[in-house]
Amino acid sequence: MSSLRNIFFILILCISSLLHAQMPEAVKASEEYRVQMNEDFRDPEESPLEKEDLENFDGLEFFVIDTTYIVEAEFVRTPSESPFEMQTSTSRTSTYVKYGELYFSLKGKEFMLNLYQNQNLRSDPEYFDYLFLPFTDETNGISTYEGGRYLDFSIPEEKRVTIDFNRAYNPYCAYSGRYSCPIPPKENHLETAIPAGVKKFTKN
């Protein structure tokens, strides 16, 4: 019995060590992601900013990277879902299918978010495996954009998926009225604050 407890304890230590070893890499990846975002926003050909905002752009404002908001989720495929029209910030709609569900724990609470697949993009070789996760949380309209934020994923190859909320970004509608942006479905509302990722955009 004692030897079994020792084996179990060693196993827990190994898993914990592996997770801690992965965190610095995740933080580095988040930092690199932010650098790339700012580079894209400074590029007149890529930026969603209005001309006057681009001229005064000093960089996006982010929350401090926090590994609390890098969580492991269980991916559950939902193959029987029917296509539906996701509402946007304009009269235009986009056709999506609920591709799967992500179940995860955050600060001792259990949550679920849906992953969606854009039916127009699935035939595009560049986006054939792209999945979309729009969500809202308790920071919206306070420290983050009132219309929610987005995360991008590729079709999972395994049942475990990492959600890094430090990569949460604003819809282009947060920067300009020229865009039509998907509105996160009500079922993707998190009844908790996610102080991670991009903050609300304020003009200089």
**Domain spans of the chain, in order of start:** 61-188
Q: How far apart are CA 103 and CA 111, in angstroms?
A: 6
- Helix, strand, or coil here: 163? strand
The pLDDT of residue 87 is 95
**Residue 28: Cβ within 10 Å count:** 11
Give tens-digit pLDDT for 163-188.
999 999 999 999 999 999 999 999 99
**43 pLDDT exceeds 60?**
yes
User: What's the token pair of residue 93?
Assistant: 């709609």
Give 3-state DSSP helix, strand, coil % of the chain, rounded to 5: 30, 30, 40
Confidence of residue 160 (pLDDT cuts 50, 70, 90): very high
The pLDDT of residue 176 is 95
Q: Which amino acid is at 146?
A: E
**8 pLDDT exceeds 90?**
no
What is the pTM assigned to this prediction?
0.86
Confidence of residue 28 (pLDDT cuts 50, 70, 90): confident
Specify the long-range contacts of residues 122-130, CB closer than 8 Å, at least 24 apart: 129/154, 129/155, 130/154
Short-list 71, 139, 151, CA closest to 111: 71
User: What's the token pair of residue 109?
Assistant: 């609470």
**% of the chain beyond a pLDDT of 70:** 88
Confidence of residue 23 (pLDDT cuts 50, 70, 90): low
Give tens-digit pLDDT for 52-66.
999 999 999 999 999
Short-list 34, 63, 31, 26, CA closest to 193: 63
Give tens-digit pLDDT for 96-140.
999 999 999 999 999 999 999 999 898 888 889 999 999 999 999
The pLDDT of residue 9 is 44
The pLDDT of residue 203 is 79
